[in-house]
Amino acid sequence: MNLTSLSLIELREVIQKKEIKAEEALLAHLKKIEERENDISAFITVLGEQALVRARKIDGKKEKGRLAGIPIAIKDNMVTKGVRTTCASRILGNYLPPYSATVVQKLEAEDAIVIGKTNLDEFAMGSSTENSAFFLTRNPWDLRRVPGGSSGGSAAAVAAEEVTAALGSDTGGSVRQPAAFCGVVGLKPTYSRVSRYGLVAFASSLDQIGPLTRTVEDCAFLTQIIAGHDLCDSTSSAQPVPDYQGEMRERLNPIKAAYLGEKILEGIDLEVKDIYYKTLQLLEESDAQLFEKKFPLWKYALPCYYIIAPSEASSNLARYDGVRYGFRNPDYSNLREMYVQTRTEGFGEEVKRRILLGTFALSSGYYDAYYLKAAKTRSLIYQEFQRTFEDVDYILTPTTPEPAFLIGEKKDDPISMYLSDIFTITANLAGLPAISLPVGLSQGGLPLGFQIIGKHFHESDLFRLAFLIENKVKFASCKIKLPKKEE
Amino acid sequence: MKPKIDVDYVSALAHLQLTEEEKADFAPKLIKVVEWVGKLEELRFDDSRIEGFSSVPFSLPFRPDEIRGSFPTESALANAPEKKKDFILVPKVIEEK
């Protein structure tokens, strides 16, 4: 039995039935990590010995949790007690958190095994994982290409079967875009569905933690475990968490969905467009009623985001001043110099750029022209979605405008990089749940993603429709041919 | 809108110091981004419709006002770059005249 290629649900079953031990499952994954990390570099930290001790302990337990022995990777912007949490930044290079994020506590309470911490764009700012202060991660489908970002390490690790599932965070598409680039399933839940306690803040009104898995059912199962109210996050919802896995298998109501008008799709990769229409056609063959919607405000979503997110980031990142934790530059003669030297040396280029942009947008004389205008635009976008959802239950889009791009291709052109998130960002602005699933390969053998956006708290609907599509497109039969060495 | 960005002023507000090289690299990129986000200028707002955007689709609950435990001093100080006894060490905050 190839333990690393099993889905979470399958691995869970063989462990629960005692056909294999948690320790065996973990060792198989650690071996795979050892074989593939040289090529992929998905992990900042791998927990070998510590995870083994935990696996043995779980094997000895009589009553096991729902995730007993499942190896899970955590993006390195979620704190893990006593395990280095860096945000892929020099400023947190040696940070050892005194507590674990609520999502990590929930996974561990169900006997999951945290196998390691994955690479990301520094402070989750980026779409390629090239902005990590430590090293870049490569796409397992083609090592010359990026895995997407910012949760690129998590997506690559799941795709390369180094781990059964992973958590990422999504502020503008950071779970869904790398999921699409790496051929895995990624969910951004409704804002407030999952506690953000212990997620290092980037843009607090947009950030949401979500799972990356190889199947829709795994995604539903993991969402079930991490969702729910948390006293430590006052913005987390008290709404009861449904049985996502059970509801996913329920009969679908007649599908009524909106798809994007030609204008929004202008300029996107032809293969992406082609597979988007093919997937829509598959749905029509399943009696879905599809309606073209123009979404006149869609084109304002990215500029709106690139004011709101950097503004919130400039405020959130003000805490990194070298006083209480993290890096402190020893070269100072007074307090202000300590702040400046610490931040100047501690932050990377893209983080500085966004802090400057946010500081500018919030500064006296520009606040009304930029931040306030963006906040108003956000309200209009939200209203546009609300109106659309009066007629349909889903909005269907490609996940990304193109397949995974080459390493270095967009590094020097911020706007071109920002455009990677054109289809994903609206869900963050409006707080809506959205899932990306792989629906095929390009001619060049790169995965292509399809995105379903749903109504607030209607994750079950997303899983049901995604499950239907998954069963029709059978992407799981597409296999990565690893290792494909860099030329 | 043709934006003007005083990079020195903004970086001072952000407690960042840019080298001349970085300024030369950052300034045009920043201006390009600010020009691009200026696209929002095209929108006309009817202010009555756009009050009170909230990212949470419910009212925020209060938690009971009960005293709960917090981190022990030792673990709260464990990551401090410089410390002395139970305190974090920083340069003198009040400057002499």
Per-residue pLDDT of A328-348, as tens digits, reads 999 999 999 999 999 999 999
Is a pLDDT exceeding 50 seen at residue A486?
A: no
Coil/strand/helix, residue A429: helix
Catalytic site residue A174?
yes
pLDDT for residue B68 is more than 70: yes
Instruction: Find, among A193, A221, A6, the residue nearest to A107 by Cα.
Output: A221
Q: Which of A150, A195, A311, A442 is catalytic?
A: A150
| A contacts of B90 (beta carbons < 8 Å) | 323, 335, 338
Over residues A145-194, the pLDDT tens digits come to 999 999 999 999 999 999 999 999 999 999 999 999 999 999 999 999 99
Q: How confident is the model at residue A482 (pLDDT cuts 50, 70, 90)?
A: low
Nearest CB to A360 within list B5, B43, B47 = B5
**What's the mean pLDDT in A60-86?**
97
Report pLDDT digits (tens) over A74-133.
Answer: 999 999 999 999 999 999 999 999 999 999 999 999 999 999 999 999 999 999 999 999
pLDDT at residue B49, as a whole number = 58
Q: Is A286 a catalytic residue?
A: no
Angle subtended at Cα A428 by Cα A423 and Cα A430, rounded to the nearest 5 degrees? 100
Cβ pair B75:A98 closer than 8 A: yes
- Structure-token pair, residue A165: 């599932």
Residues 15-74 of B with CB under 8 A from A: 15-18, 22, 26, 29-30, 32-34, 36-43, 45, 47, 49-51, 53, 55-58, 60-61, 63, 71
Give the separation between CA B63 and CA A237, rounded to whole angstroms: 13
B3 to chain A nearest CA, in Å?
10
pLDDT for position B48: 52
Q: B33 and A306 in contact by Cβ < 8 A? A: yes
Q: Is A460 a catalytic residue?
A: no
- Residue A368 exposure: Cα atoms within 13 Å on the Cβ side: 2
Q: What distance in Å separates the CA atoms of residue A440 and residue A216, rounded to the nearest whole number?
A: 15
pLDDT band at B47 (very low <50, low <70, confident <90, very high): low
Q: Is the peptide bond before A483 cis (omega within 30 degrees of 0)?
A: yes
| pLDDT, tens digit (0-9, with 9 covering 90-100), for A367-394 | 888 998 899 899 999 999 999 999 999 9
Please, are residues A104 and A78 in contact by the beta-carbon 8 Å criterion? yes
Active-site choice (A7, A100, A174, A237): A174
Domain boundaries, chain B: 1-43
State the smallest CA–CA distance between residue B70 and chain A in angstroms: 11
Confidence at A204, pLDDT banded by 50, 70, 90: very high
Nearest CB among B1, B22, B88 relative to A323 is that of B88
Per-residue pLDDT at A410 exceeds 80? yes
Q: Would A457 be classed as within a structural domain?
A: yes
Residues of chain B contacting A237 with CB distance shorter than 8 Å: 56, 58
Model pTM score: 0.96
**CB distance A9 to A17 below 8 Å:** no
Give me the pLDDT at residue A281, please.
Answer: 97
pLDDT at B69 > cutoff 90 = no
Most confident of A52-56, A231-235, A292-296, B92-96: A52-56
Q: Could you tell me if residue A458 is inside a domain?
A: yes
Q: CB distance A303–B38 less than 8 Å?
A: yes
Chain A CA closest to residue B9: A360
Q: Say what percent of chain B tops pLDDT 70.
A: 82
Q: Do A340 and B76 touch (CB under 8 A)?
A: no
Distance in angstroms (rounded) separating the CA atoms of residues A305 and A302? 5
Q: Where in the sequence is the domain holding A164, given as residue range(s)?
A: 3-257+390-477
* Per-residue tokens: A422: 């054109």
Between helix B20-37 and helix A349-362 the angle, nearest 10°, is 50
What is the rounded average pLDDT of the residues B51-60? Answer: 67
Q: What mean pLDDT value characterizes chain A?
A: 95
Torsion on CA atoms A147, A148, A151, A155, rounded to nearest 10:
-40
In this structure, what CATH number is given to the domain that contains residue A35?
Answer: 3.90.1300.10
**Beta carbons of A353 and B95 less than 8 Å apart:** no
Q: Which residues pair with A259 in a beta bridge?
A: A292, A396
Can you tell me the mean pLDDT for A262-291?
95
Please tell me the distance in Å from A419's CA to the nearest CA on chain B.
12
B43 — pLDDT class (breaks 50, 70, 90): confident
pLDDT number for residue B52: 54
Structure-derived torsion over alpha carbons of residues A127, B32, A380, A266, reported in degrees to the nearest 10: -70
Indicate which of B16, B25, B45, B96 best probes the interface with A, i.e. most A CBs within 10 Å of its own CB.
B16
In the set A32, A64, A75, A293, the catalytic residue is A75
How far off is chain B from A335, nearest CA to CA, in Å? 5
Considering its fold, how many domains does chain A have in total?
Answer: 1
pLDDT band at A479 (very low <50, low <70, confident <90, very high): confident
Q: Which residues in chain B have Cβ-Cβ distances shorter than 8 Å to A333?
A: 91
Whether pLDDT at A66 is above 60: yes
Chain B: nearest CA to A317, how far in angstroms? 10
Q: Is residue A321 part of a domain?
A: no
Check residue B25 and give its pLDDT. 86
φ and ψ of A263, to 5 deg: -60, -40
- Residue A237, domain member (yes or no): yes
Whole-number pLDDT of residue A487? 42
Q: What is the pLDDT of residues B3-16, one digit of tens each?
A: 678 999 999 999 99
pLDDT reported for residue A84? 98
Are residues A380 and B32, on separate chains, in Cβ contact within 8 Å? no
Residue A362 has pLDDT above 60, yes or no: yes
Identify the pLDDT of residue A386. Answer: 93
